[in-house]
Amino acid sequence: MKVLVTGGAGFIGSHIVDELVTTGHDVVVIDDLDPAAHSGLPQGLSSDASYVWGDVRDAQVLTDALVGVDAVCHQAAKVGLGVDFADVSEYVSRNCGGTASMLRALHDVSFAGRIVLASSMVVYGEGRYRCPEHGVVRPGARRLDDLDAGRFEPPCPTCGGPLDSESVPEDHWLIPRNVYATTKLTQEGLCEAYEREHPGCSVTSLRYHNVYGPRMPRDTPYAGVASLFRSAYERGDAPRVFEDGGQRRDFVHVRDIAAANVLALTNEAPASGALNICSGVAHTILEMAEALRPDGAPAPQVVGGYRLGDIRHVHASPERAEKVLGFRAEIGFEQGMTEFKTAALRATVGPLPHTLR
Helices (H) and strands (E) in the chain, counts: 11, 18
Residues 79, 84, 87, CA angle at the centre, nearest 5°?
Answer: 60
| Residue 180 annotated in active site | yes
Count Cβ atoms below 10 Å from residue 84 Cβ, excluding itself.
Answer: 11
Contact predicate 58/102, CB 8 Å: no
Q: What sign does the dihedral 31-34-38-40 (CA atoms) show?
A: positive
Q: Give the integer Cα–Cα distance in Å for 41 and 33.
A: 8
Q: Which amino acid is at 285?
A: I
**Catalytic-role residue among 129, 180, 194, 212:** 180
If we measure between CA atoms, which residue out of 285, 274, 279, 271 comes closest to residue 316? 279
Beta bridge partners of residue 53, listed in sequence order: 31
Q: Helical H runs in 3-73?
A: 11-22, 59-65
Count Cβ neighbours within 10 Å for each residue of 321-340 and write b for 16 or more, e otherwise: beebbebebebebeebbeeb
Q: Helical H runs in 37-178?
A: 59-65, 88-91, 98-108, 144-148
Say what angle helices 179-197 and 98-108 make with each other, to 10 degrees: 10
Q: Looking at the annotation, which residues are catalytic? A: 180
